[in-house]
Each structure stands twice: as C-alpha cells, then as structure tokens.
Amino acid sequence: MIDAIIIGASGYTGFELLRLLALHPDVNVSSVTSRQYAGVSVTKVYPALAGYYDTLNFTDPKEIEGAKADVIFSALPHGVSQASVLPFIKAGIKVIDLSADFRLHDVEVYEKWYVEHKAPEYLKQAVYGLPELHREAIKGAQLVANPGCFPTGAILALAPVFGGGLYNSVMPVVIDSKSGTTGAGRKAAIETSFVEVNEGFKAYKIGAHRHAPEMAQELTALAGDEVPVTFTPHLLPVSRGILTTAYVWLKKPLNGALLHALYKEFYGAEPFVRVMEPGLLPDISQVRGSNYCDIGIYVHEKEQKAVIVSVIDNLVKGASGAAVQNMNLLFGFDESTGLTTLPLSI
C-alpha cells in the first residue's frame, strides 16, 4: 500500500483521480490540496464520492509542505505546477505532473508557448508519460509528465504511421479534434456556461493551441524527421470525450487491411488501445469513463491517404487514467490496476 497526495485536487482531473483511486487496492490517498476549498470535505464538493472519502477534507497546500508520501499527483495549472512539485522532486518523491510543465523537452519551445520555466533542468529528466511509446522509461522515472488530452488522442492515432515510416512528408498532417467541455476544467466562466455551450459547436485557437508542439515533439521523434502539424481543436457540447480525425498521406499505396494489420501489430498487447475492425469507426461514448483509446482506420488506397479516427475519455486516458497507469508502472503494480471499470457507454 502506497500513500498518494493530490495537489490542486478540486478540479475535474482531481475528482477523476479520486474516483479511480477509490478502487485501487494498493493506494491510499492521504491528502488532497485546494486553496479554494481548504477545510471543506471532499464529499461536500463532490457528493458522488459519499461513502468513499467521508473523512477526507481539502487542505491548504501549505499543510503538506514537507509531507511524506510515495507519490505526488499534481493537477495544478501549468506554470504553478512546476514550483509546487519541485520540493517533492528534490525530496526524492515520485511525481506525476498532469500539467504541461514537463512535457516539452526543449525549454525554448516551452517558453514560446507557455511561460518562463523555473526548473528547466528537469525537462530532460522528465519522461513523457505515454506508456504506449515510453513504457520502459516511465518505469524508471522519478518525474512523469502526464500527456495532454489532445496529444494523447492524436499521437495514438498516428504513431503507427510515423513509427512505421509510412508518412509522405510532402503532404500535410491534419489533426482535427473535438473535445468535451470537461477539457476546459472546472471553472466559473460565461463561455463554458451551460447555455453558451449547449446546442453549440465551434472551433477555437486555430494555429494557437498549446497542445500542437507536444504532438509535433512526439510524432517527430517517431518519424525521425520534423513533422509539421496542422491542428484544430473544437468544443463539443458533451461532458467527456475527445474524437480526433487525423488525415495523413502515405509514402506508398496500402490497402485498409494492411494498415489495419500494422496497427494491430503496433499496439499488440497494449491493455488500453483497442484497434477496431476495418470498416468500423469509434464513437466517443464507447470509451466514456474508461482508460481506453479506440481507433478506427480508413484508407483510400489510390490516393495513398489514410484517415484515422481515435477516441478517448479526456479525463481518463487523456488525464487521470493515464496518471494512474503511469503510477502502476512506477511502482510495479499490474498496469491495469484500478482501471478495469468498463465504459459507461450509454
């Protein structure tokens, strides 16, 4: 049994960590911090958790200074997270950072897209926490940078193409993603209020979303060559789920069955990637609440074009589920522990 602390725990990824860890037999959540809710019981903020965390209150971050724990989950915003986790890293405690602070290896790229980095020396040491690409490195890491939600869906959709050297680099890579509203976090804002989002749909931050460099970093590493990414996020009027429609052109003609076989091979024993049969396409609902990434494949053989569709639950495989998967790897637990709940697809 290990002790876990969640800092910045009052948001949706914090809730989701609590939801998942409640059923993890090897983890005890000893503290959860929240400036806003310090002193308030967890079940008051999240009545759904009644019966599971009845004695747990949010505490001010100050109260856990110097606290002992086996693992720290940081669900703080980028910029804030790096400073908050630093003392724990220095104390030798394993840290899983759900913010963007340690995802980009190149400090210049980070500072171009985000803010000044206060602990750039840890960027190289941090492991990008996508088990499907970096499982062994994660096992030995002290600091895991949990991937962004859009990058998770996009990279898993495209990794076999780029990792397999199939990409025609003359042509673009178009990543058109649609995310549920939990992706915007738990906050009071008119633009994420029910009335504004309901029955609506829009694109936003075209050419300006911070998750693009993360995709480029990982796809470039797979391809061994610079991959330009054209990325457009959209806001869906649903609570959970990201669907990514990725368009990529291939070096050589491949039919759908062949590309499907390559995907099946690439993801062979992965516990949380389900490659769908040729002709089938996934719906975000089929992974809701679960840690799965489901992938559908379409190939236009003559045009040497593939359209890959992936779906994840942005709060699970796109955030807290991946964090638990990484924790399982860090501590030698079975990788699926605490993550076996089936999708609540209807």
Active site members: 149
213 lies in the site for a copy of itself, by CB under 8 A: no
In the region spanning residues 227 to 256, those forming contacts with a copy of itself, defined by CB under 8 A, are 228, 230, 232, 234, 236-241, 243, 245, 247, 249
Max distance between CA atoms of the chain, in angstroms, equals 63
Per-residue buried b or exposed e for 151-184, using 16+ beta carbons within 10 Å of the residue's own CB: bbbbbbbbbbbbbbebbeeeeebebbbbbbbbbe
The residue whose two tokens read 């949010």 is 58
Q: Which is nearer to a copy of itself, 139 or 186 (CB)?
A: 186
- Other beta carbons within 10 angstroms of residue 193's beta carbon come to 10
Query: What would the x/- binding string for a copy of itself be over residues 135 to 154, using CB under 8 A?
Result: --------------------
Q: Which is nearer to a copy of itself, 49 or 141 (CB)?
A: 49
Bridge partners of 33, per DSSP, are: 59
- From 288, 322, 338, 339, residue interacting with a copy of itself (rule: CB under 8 A): 288
Residue 248 Cα to chain centre, angstroms:
22
Stretch in the footprint of a copy of itself (CB under 8 A) among 14-22, 85-93, 124-132, 152-160 = 14-22
Stretch in the footprint of a copy of itself (CB under 8 A) among 1-9, 91-99, 151-159, 305-313 = 305-313
Cβ atoms of 103 and 74 closer than 8 Å: no
Shortest Cβ distance from residue 295 to a copy of itself (Å)? Answer: 12
**What would the two tokens of residue 46 be?**
């999240």
- Other beta carbons within 10 angstroms of residue 149's beta carbon come to 28
Identity at 148, one-letter amino acid code:
G
In the region spanning residues 34 to 93, those forming contacts with a copy of itself, defined by CB under 8 A, are 46-52
- From 14, 153, 289, 338, residue interacting with a copy of itself (rule: CB under 8 A): 289
Shortest Cβ distance from residue 135 to a copy of itself (Å)? Answer: 19
